[in-house]
């Protein structure tokens, strides 16, 4: 059974897209049945080109990536979510819609904060560097997530493990 992970950020243009790309990349590489999705509370309508460039440079196909509203994942037709991760402080402070996890019930929710690379001072070179550093940091946590025995953890054990990853 596929484990669906939703990564949220306010504009769904940078950090959440990096997380979606990295989790899907590592899940495929490691042969794990995990599918990442991303969305935002106030989507910008476009994915930041620096995010796409950072993923592409890491060998990740970004065809079809788009900025989307989190409402898509609270519809009946949405995939059953097991985990919801917020990756920016503003999204963590917002009232999230109710997400249902199919037969597993409500998904486990955690917050992993990352600085916004799109506001890095110093021009395009600094932004490129900021996006690459953020992509690597997110990728590291996604590898830790995929190292967990996701299918056998209770919700409380999963919550604790994800919180510990967030502190690493």
Phi, psi for residue 113 in degrees, rounded to 5: -85, 135
What pLDDT was estimated at residue 95? 56
Ranges 8-12, 17-21, 131-135, 162-166: which has the least confidence: 8-12
For residue 76, the model assigns a pLDDT of 81
- pLDDT at 75 (0 to 100): 82
Query: What is the average per-residue pLDDT within 119-126?
Result: 90
From residue 38, give the alpha-carbon distance in Å to each of 124, 140, 154.
25, 18, 24
**Rounded percentage of the chain residues whose pLDDT exceeds 90:** 71
CA 96 – CA 115 distance, rounded (Å):
20
Q: Is the pLDDT of residue 98 over 70?
A: no
Task: Name the superfamily (CATH) of residues 3-167.
Answer: Response regulator (3.40.50.2300)
Contact 39, 6 (CB under 8 A): yes
Helix/strand/coil for 95: coil
Secondary structure letter of residue 72 according to DSSP: G
> What pLDDT score does 164 carry?
97
Q: 168 pLDDT exceeds 60? A: yes
Closest C-alpha to 18, from 69, 85, 96: 85
- The residues near 69 (Cβ < 8 Å, ≥ 6 apart) are 12, 39, 40, 41, 43
Residue carrying structure tokens 């600085």: 115
List beta partners, residue 39. Answer: 8
pTM of the model: 0.92
Asked if residue 62 lies in contact with residue 30, where contact means CB atoms within 8 angstroms, the answer is no
């Amino acid at each position: 059974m596929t484990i669906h992970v939703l990564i949220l950020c306010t504009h769904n243009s940078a950090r959440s897209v990096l997380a979606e790309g990295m989790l899907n990349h590592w899940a495929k590489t490691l042969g794990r049945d995990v599918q990442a999705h991303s969305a935002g509370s106030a989507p910008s309508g476009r994915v930041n080109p620096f995010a796409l460039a950072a993923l592409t440079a890491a060998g990740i196909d970004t065809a079809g990536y788009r900025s989307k509203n989190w409402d898509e994942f609270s519809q009946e037709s949405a995939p059953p979510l097991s985990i919801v991760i917020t990756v920016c402080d503003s999204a963590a402070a917002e009232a999230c819609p109710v997400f249902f996890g199919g037969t597993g019930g409500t998904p486990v929710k955690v917050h992993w904060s990352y600085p916004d690379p799109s506001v890095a001072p110093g021009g395009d070179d600094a932004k490129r560097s900021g996006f690459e550093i953020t992509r690597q940091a997110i990728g590291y946590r996604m590898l830790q997530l995929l190292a967990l025995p996701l299918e056998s953890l209770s919700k409380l054990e999963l919550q604790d493990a994800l919180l510990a990853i967030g502190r690493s």
